[in-house]
Chains A and B, each alone.
Chain A
Amino acid sequence: MPTPVLELRHVSKRFDMTQALDDVSLTLYPGEIHALVGENGAGKSTLIKVATGVYQPDHGEIWVNGRRVHIRNSQEAQALGIAAIYQEPMVFPDLSVAENIFISHRDRGPFVNWRKMYEDAEAILAKLGVNLDVRLPARGLSLAAQQTVEIAKAISLNVCTLIMDEPTSSLSAHEVTQLFRLVSTLRDQGVAILFIGHRLEEVLSIADRVSVLRDGKLISSRPRGEVTIEQVIRDMVGRRIEDFFAKSAVQRGELLLSVRGLSKENVFSDISFDVYRGEVLGFAGLVGSRRTDVGLALFGVEPADAGQIIFEGKEIRIRSPQQALQMGIAYITEDRLRYGLSMPLSIAANITLPTLANYLGALGLIRSAAEYADAEEFRQRLSIRAPSVQVEVAKLSGGNQQKVVLSKWLNTKPKLLILDEPTRGIDVRTKAEVHHMISELAAQGLGIILISSDLPEIMAMSDRILVMREGRQMGLFTREEATQEKVMAAAMGQEYKVPETQLC
């Protein structure tokens, strides 16, 4: 066996509530494409960040080319020959392709030799079998082309370990084929490649080895010959022992929302579903499935291009968040920090923000008493743990912050509630409280769309499950029909065939 290029030995990393990596040992050999699969939140991005020096592991060791190392930042990782390419490539739009490739080089001499740079760039691209005009500015390039530039950049720096994080999620089939050809070429040249992806057929077609992460633990690591898709899915999904709060069955009310053929160019296409009062429609899918974009379209932040939306029997076009709010649609964002809460503001101020107009008295002044009262009510109702509603939201724990976000939207008395990853990064106790709340809300007659990457959560909470993959609708299951494997398979574009030997 050749010396491993990169080795993670018993690496663990913890963030507040979550054990992101739990005793993970992974080995990358030169000239090997090592695929890493796992659900959202399984720990893949944390692993990448540890390998590239963004995070330092709490426990465990990193070995590069047979030597133990400490990678303290991305420059050190680069010096060790480790490079990573992400879904969103970081290019300089105003510089040419060739310049983008060589921009971080320090050793090309005191003067820029343009002709040589163009030639070298073309040579690298030729090595990759790609045809790009190296003189054009990177601005006009497609995402696929930008990724190619990133790869070329990595090669130019003599990378030994190339980490690719979901590189194909925004690419067309043709572009994917090209990318894979590129990657194979790299592999043949001796580079070790860690490929994170979720399109199983693709992954299996190119990988030499497949490892599965789940809840921060490495579940399995097998060479390609020994792997089947069903096995991988089962490893990813596993059997949970935790008792999840199951949504109580509620009498389904009238049709609240009807969506037909909803499309947004290059984002999602032909999404159709119904939501009834009293029901929870779960949206399942993996990274890049564009579920959030559908939610944003329904909330008017990024309106759809085409399609029909019928809300409470009337056809509507949702063009702005204000409009959506007025109609009774509320959207709870997945990114609390960036979009959900105004951190320096108090709990009360955050809760009343969308409905501020209701709290204004004469002359447009805020009626603090009314605001305080309503905020207090939510504090009780959702058990928000804070000394008072005047406390800054920044001082609360993640779980309590999420409760404030929930309160904020519940305060708008919505008819349709769209929840995007509502329990991400929250402690178990609060998670249960949130689930309880969702069930209650459904019972009160709200229609709820639950977007979540936590399969057990979706399975437990949804009356029906819609599965999306890369902007397309893959299936609609009822509660009875759905199993974790079926849902995961649909999310990956597979049809799940129950193995004959399975009897339970």
Chain B
Amino acid sequence: MLTSLRRSIRPEQIRELILVLLIVALVLFFGTQIEGYYSSRTFIRISTSIAILAVVAVGETLVFLTRNYDISVGSIVGLTAFFVGTQLNHYQGIPPIAALLMAVGLGAIMGAFNGVLVAYGRVPAIIVTLGTMAMYRAMLVEYPGIKIVQMHLLPGWAQEFSRVNIIQVGDFELRLIVGIALAVVIIFQLVLTYLPYGRRLYAIGSNPEAARIAGFPYQRIVFIAFVLSGTLAGLAGFMFMGRFGNLTVGAALGMEMQAIAAVVVGGTSTMGGVGSAFGTFLGAALIGLLDQSLLRWPIISEFWRDAILGLLILLAVASDRAIVDRLRTLWARSELQLRPSMATVRQEESVHGS
């Protein structure tokens, strides 16, 4: 029975289970600490902030799977949010779909730029996205027009965007933003599980050499991963604009670090080949939950947020299987040094006449 259990449960699923338990534990804990925690209001606040992070993090997961990194997503989110917001400030007549397409399209272009440089220019992803992080932020700042997006100048639907519900049962409200995020998670979980493209992402990250020999269109696959990452960041930008309304040039600053934290905590390996959209969602949920709850908890100052983020990342990376393996070999090797050779043991035996 145990073997069949072992067969059907993968280590990644154990990790996901732990995350769910952690989240539940945290919710219960904060419920005792913070007044009015179990209210509809709190749920809405937390879930909407998780939603935006989750969308970005899913895109980041795709990149991570191929053993690359994308730290420009924060800037992409900011730029798309700001761009679309500014357009809407000027031309209130733009229909929502067009605005959405603008955001997503812009994100895709920025992702494509990253992708070309990494996949075809053979520039390491960290360098490319370190550069584009700054470049995209610069474009945001220099975008001609007013330097802020103002809520009250947005068209009605945009102002109401963050308040639209898809489910309303009594006091419980599920915002559209959250619904979009859930849809993204589900879609990409399906992509990663059921589409050959998704499986090739895992293959490339798992063994790039073998992937090349097997004849995969390596460059195209990586390029598309970056395009998707940018596209999702664009979508998140749209949601960001809807949620906050008033935007400055500092929009979404630092979001890439949160996204990476969500990805890593959610079980995606930093060496590629392992990860899932669902796991990332749990990671985003955990981080978003911690973040928003700490804000409301007077005992620990909110400034611990980044330190805790860092700590979570360290813990998550340290529990990465590849790393545990390496530590284990190291430990074994140091243990070996303590073992006497068989010859000397025999000698000792003969001396002491055992």
- A and B assemble together: yes
Question: Which residues of A are at the interface with B, using a C-beta cutoff of 8 A?
Answer: 74-75, 78, 90-95, 99, 103-104, 108, 110-112, 114, 133, 135-137, 260-261, 305-308, 315, 317, 319
A103 nearest CB neighbor, chain B only: B203
Using known A-B contacts A74-B215, A90-B210, A92-B207, determine if residue A112 contacts B199 with beta carbons closer than 8 Å: yes
Distance (Å) between the CB of A150 and the closest chain B CB? 10
Docked pose: A111 CA to B196 CA in angstroms: 7
| Contact present for A261 and B203 (CB under 8 Å) | no
Task: State the interface size on chain B (CB cutoff 8 A).
Answer: 30
**Contact between chains at B199 and A90 (CB < 8 Å):** no
Query: Could you say which residues of chain B place their CB within 8 Å of the CB of A317?
Result: 337, 341
User: Given A94-B273, A319-B337, does the pair A306, B213 have CB atoms closer than 8 Å?
Assistant: no
Given A91-B207, A108-B196, does the pair A135, B7 have CB atoms closer than 8 Å?
yes
Tell me if B194 counts as interface (CB < 8 A to partner A): yes
Task: Flag if B7 contacts A111 (CB, 8 Å).
Answer: no
Q: Which residues on the A side are within 8 Å of B206 (C-beta)?
A: 92-95
A302 to chain B, nearest CB (A): 11
A305 to B337: give the CA distance in the assembly, Å: 9
A74 touches B213 (CB 8 A): yes
B345 to chain A, nearest CB (A): 10
How far, in angstroms, from A3 to B195 measured CA to CA in the complex? 40
- Report how far A137 CA is from B274 CA in the complex, Å: 11
What is the CA–CA distance of A74 and B213 in the complex, to the nearest angstrom? 8
Main secondary structure, interface of B, reads: helix
- Name the one of A78, A90, A136, A305 contacting B209, with C-beta atoms under 8 angstroms: A90
- Supposing A261-B343, A307-B342 touch, asked if A93 and B195 sit within 8 A by C-beta, the answer is no
B205 at the interface (CB under 8 A from A): yes
Contact B337 A306 (CB under 8 A): no
Q: Main secondary structure on chain A at its contact with chain B?
A: loop
Return 5 A-B CB contacts under 8 Å, by A number.
A74-B215, A90-B214, A93-B273, A103-B214, A135-B7
Cα–Cα distance between A307 and B346 once the two chains are bound (Å): 11
Query: A112 and B196: CB pair below 8 A?
Result: yes
CA–CA, A116 and B152, complex, Å: 55
Asked if residues B214 and A104 are in contact (CB atoms below 8 Å), the reply is yes
B92 at the interface (CB under 8 A from A): no
Quick check: A112 and B343 within 8 Å, CB to CB? no
Say if the beta carbon of B202 comes within 8 Å of chain A.
Answer: yes
Closest CB pairs A-B (n = 5): A94-B273, A90-B210, A308-B343, A94-B206, A92-B206
Cβ-defined partner of B195 (8 Å) among A99, A112, A260: A112
Whole-angstrom distance between the Cβ of A230 and the nearest chain B Cβ = 39
**A110 to B196 CA separation, bound complex (whole angstroms):** 7
What does the 1/0 interface line of B206-234 toward A look like (CB < 8 Å)?
Answer: 11011101111000000000000000000
Within 8 Å by CB of B207, from A74, A90, A306, lies A90
User: Do the beta carbons of B341 and A92 come within 8 Å of each other?
Assistant: no
Is B168 in the interface zone, CB < 8 Å from A?
Answer: no
- Check: B354 CB closer than 8 A to any chain A CB: no
Chain A nearest Cβ from B270, distance in angstroms: 13
Q: A104 to B203: give the CA distance in the assembly, Å.
A: 10
Measured CB to CB, the closest approach of chain B to A63, in angstroms, equals 24
Contact status A261-B207, CB under 8 Å:
no
Distance (whole angstroms) from the CB of A42 to the closest CB of chain B: 25
Give complex CA distance A298, B240 in Å: 62
CB–CB B215/A78 < 8 A:
yes
Asked if A308 contacts B202 (CB within 8 A), the reply is: no
